[in-house]
Amino acid sequence: MLLTLIKKRKEADDAYSFIFEPSESIMWRAGQYMFYTLPNDNPDNRGATRYFTISSSPFEKNVMITTRIDKPGSSTFKKSLTEMKIGETIQASGPDGDFIISDPNRNYVFIAGGIGITPFRSILLDLYHRKLPINVQLMYANRDKNIVFKDELESLISKNPNFKIQYFINPTHIDEKAFLTFNSQLSTLNFYISGPSPFVRSIRDLLKEQGALSENIKLDFFPGYES
């Protein structure tokens, strides 16, 4: 399907959202992603296609991509995305993915590494919109205080007593001490980890060492941020 760019928004520092209107009605579950093709006359070795989470919630109807643009070192894909003008189109297929919440009555720990916050924005706003419980502790690691979706996420706290956010701003990292508060609950909580692949792997390993069960851990790997 074709997606038409209707809005660009700076979220924080080098993070931007691109909001697209789909050419046909599209249904997705909060937390899913799409596969995008954006032709470039001279693409680099990473090519002209990418996966991105739909950072908008289904009730918002439009498809939002939120990503970091590393201006000097940006891939040709992200240069093309940045240069898109309102009214231009991008090809997309999907949605797909199982990084979704099936039972909101369970207790969740969401762990985001930087831009890995995208599926959590979609899921949290969806739960709120559908008046479902938000039994979520969000552990949000970021390299600095430029926190993507900070205001939107914090606005949910006062209305949802079981929703909490804990920030880990460099040089503070998520380590074994961060999980001490979960104590005996570690084997029953549902952990969702999203972000750059090395971050996701290291938090998964840490959680397993601390006693979390593999079947209670869901992972959303964002490749491409390793270098």
Q: By CB under 6 A, name the binding residues for ligand FAD.
A: 33, 44-46, 50-53, 55, 66-68, 70, 73-75, 77-78, 97, 115, 118, 222-225, 227
CA dihedral over 68, 74, 76, 82, signed as positive or negative: positive
Nearer to ligand FAD, 168 or 225 (CB): 225
Kindly state the smallest distance separating residue 16's Cβ from ligand FAD, in Å.
Answer: 10
Compute the distance between CA of residue 181 and CA of residue 109 in angstroms, rounded to an integer: 12
Nearer to ligand FAD, 50 or 190 (CB): 50
Q: What secondary structure does DSSP assign to 107-128, as a single string?
A: -EEEEEEGGGGHHHHHHHHHHH
Indicate the SS3 state at residue 32. Answer: coil
Nearer to ligand FAD, 33 or 191 (CB): 33
Q: Which two tokens stand for residue 77?
A: 């894909």
The candidate with the shortest Cα–Cα distance to 47, out of 73, 69, 75, is 75
In eight-state DSSP terms, residue 71 is G
Kindly state the smallest distance separating residue 177's Cβ from ligand FAD, in Å.
Answer: 28
Kindly state the smallest distance separating residue 184's Cβ from ligand FAD, in Å.
Answer: 33
Q: Which two tokens stand for residue 81?
A: 């995305």
**126-136 exposure pattern, b = at least 16 Cβ within 10 A, e = fewer:** bbbeeeeebbb
Identify the helix (H) or strand (E) that includes residue 33: strand 33-37
Kindly state the smallest distance separating residue 92's Cβ from ligand FAD, in Å.
Answer: 13
Nearer to ligand FAD, 82 or 202 (CB): 82
Compute the distance between CA of residue 136 and CA of residue 106 in angstroms, rounded to an integer: 9
Compute the distance between CA of residue 7 and CA of residue 80 in angstroms, rounded to an integer: 15
Nearer to ligand FAD, 113 or 191 (CB): 113
Kindly state the smallest distance separating residue 58's Cβ from ligand FAD, in Å.
Answer: 16
